[in-house]
Amino acid sequence: MIQQSTFISSVNKSETVREILVFVFKLLLVYFLWRSFSLLIGPEAQPINERTIPWLSAAFEGFNDLLKTSLAQSSAWLISLFGYEPVIIGNNMVKIQGSSGVEIGNYCLAVELMVLYITLVATYPAPLKLKLGVIIGGLVMIHLINVLRVALLNLMTVHLPQYADFNHHFTFRILVFLFILVIYNRYVKKAAQMAKS
């Protein structure tokens, strides 16, 4: 009896290790594919017609422009709730009068974090309906956190400019990673509960 339970325990451990290795492999594969895609798209500053695949770069930049416009307009609206009159310059800069404002580049859109989030959720074994709900809800929340970030950075450029740079580079990333970990933890628990029932 002891030998059988030891055997079952070792089988369960080897299956768990295999599942973890497959999961890590999927994450690394998606990360590699994303990096390859980023190289094909080319840097934001490079003219589209000089990039490796111009039509793909144009489509991706169009998507980025939609995100920039949404981010700029939403954060300007949020700033206005605090009694300020923000100005949107182009589709990628939000500015409160008398401040330097916040310019929104492709790197500010959190697309890479969104890809990471989608990968984490999609590669974990769970029912499709649960995956889709968690992916859509999480993407909306990441975007809303980013809206809050741009609005708060604008307010910092007015009241606490000495802290704006640090918060621009670190605080948002930490908050989004914490958010992703919390949501992912709940998602894994929910998937495990659904698998048992």
Query: What is each CA distance from 20 to 27, 91, 116, in whole angstroms?
Result: 11, 42, 17
Q: Please, what is the angle between helix 111-123 and helix 2-41, to 10°?
A: 150
Domain boundaries, the chain: 2-196
Kindly tell me if the per-residue pLDDT of 133 is higher than 80: yes
Show the tokens assigned to 9.
């325990």
Closest CA to 126 of 178, 186, 182, 177: 186
Decide: 107 and 41 in contact? Cβ < 8 Å: no
Alpha helix ranges (H) inside 81-171: 111-123, 128-159, 161-166
Q: Which range among 2-11, 88-97, 138-147, 151-160 shows the weakest confidence by mean pLDDT?
A: 2-11
pLDDT digits (tens, 9 = 90+) for 10-61: 445 666 777 778 777 877 888 888 888 888 888 888 888 888 889 999 999 9
Decide: 142 and 179 in contact? Cβ < 8 Å: yes
193 CB contacts (<8 Å, ≥6 apart)? Answer: none
Percent of the chain with pLDDT over 90: 25
Mean pLDDT along residues 102-124: 85
Q: Mean pLDDT for the chain?
A: 83
- pLDDT at residue 15, rounded to an integer: 64
- pLDDT at residue 139, rounded to an integer: 93
The single-letter code of the amino acid at 167 is N
pLDDT digits (tens, 9 = 90+) for 156-186: 888 776 776 777 777 777 887 888 888 888 8
Bridge partners (DSSP) of residue 96 are 86
Decide: 101 and 88 in contact? Cβ < 8 Å: no
Mean pLDDT along residues 60-66: 92
